[in-house]
């Protein structure tokens, strides 16, 4: 096995030991095994530094993400008169949330869920804003666009096996069709 692969494995073992994912004596055994008996504090120190640098990068990326989002929100508040800018930024935000949800889905279930919900709500917001901007007073177009959103949620729920999207899609379809027929 190459040294780079061994170092990656030893970094993971150190991470497991630091976060108590495995008992310490198991981690020590694995470190000795992968270091071929040369397990020393120096090797473990290198592994700890690698784990710490990964954690620092994650914190840095989150620290830069929130100010950017805040700046975009402030920008949107001051550009209300340009509706197409708001629609475009919200659309880009929805696309970024969708890509982020797919990326984080395997690593962090809660963050992926939050991004999926943000994507669905941002898409709904873009739809409603576009409808009120371009089809003001046209209720049929509003119902059609809301039906498209609910079908999107339903299909997303079925394809990705997400129960809350499926339920939202079905309930939304029932409510919108019932409202449309009643009024």
Number of separate helices (H) and strands (E) present in the chain: 7, 0
144, 123, 125: which is closest to 135 by C-alpha? 144
For the record, the structure tokens of 79 come out as 């550009």
Token pair listed for 107: 């690593």
Q: Which residue has the higher pLDDT, 36 or 171?
A: 171
Residues comprising the chain, all counted: 183
Strands (E), 111-160: none
How many Å apart are CA 71 and CA 28, to the nearest integer? Answer: 47
pTM: 0.49
Q: Looking at residue 59, what is its pLDDT?
A: 57
Q: Pick the more confident residue, 38 or 47.
A: 38
Judged against a pLDDT cut of 80, whether residue 40 lies above it is answered with: no
Residue corresponding to tokens 């992926």: 112
**pLDDT digits 0-9 by tens, 3-34:** 777 777 777 888 777 777 778 777 777 777 77
Residue pLDDT, tens place only, 57-114: 555 555 666 676 667 666 665 655 666 776 777 777 777 767 776 776 667 777 677 7
- Split at pLDDT 50, 70, 90, the class of 151 is very high
Going from N- to C-terminal start, the domains of the chain cover 1-63
Q: What is the predicted pLDDT for the residue at 120?
A: 84
Residue 87: exposure state from Cβ atoms within 10 A (0-12, 13-18, ≥19) = middle
Q: Tens digits of per-residue pLDDT, 100-132?
A: 767 766 677 776 777 778 778 878 888 887 888
* Contact indicator for 165, 177 with CB cutoff of 8 Å: no
Closest CA to 156 of 110, 108, 117: 117
């Amino acid at each position: 096995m190459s040294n780079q692969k061994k170092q990656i494995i030893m970094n993971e073992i150190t991470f497991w030991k630091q976060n108590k994912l495995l008992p310490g004596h198991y981690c020590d055994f694995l470190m000795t095994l992968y270091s071929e008996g040369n397990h020393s504090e120096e090797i473990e120190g290198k592994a700890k530094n690698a784990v710490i640098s990964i954690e620092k990068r994650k914190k840095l990326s989150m620290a830069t993400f929130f100010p950017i989002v805040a700046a975009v929100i402030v920008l949107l508040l001051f550009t209300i008169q340009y509706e197409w800018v708001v629609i475009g930024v919200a659309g880009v935000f929805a696309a970024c949330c969708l890509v982020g949800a797919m990326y984080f889905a395997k690593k962090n279930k809660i963050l992926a869920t939050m991004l999926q919900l943000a994507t669905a709500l941002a898409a709904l917001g873009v739809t409603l804003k576009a409808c009120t901007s371009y089809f003001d007073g046209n209720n049929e177009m509003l119902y059609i666009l809301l039906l498209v959103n609910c079908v999107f949620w339903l299909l997303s729920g079925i394809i990705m096996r997400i129960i809350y999207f499926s339920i939202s899609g079905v309930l939304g379809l029932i409510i919108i069709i019932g409202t449309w027929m009643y009024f």
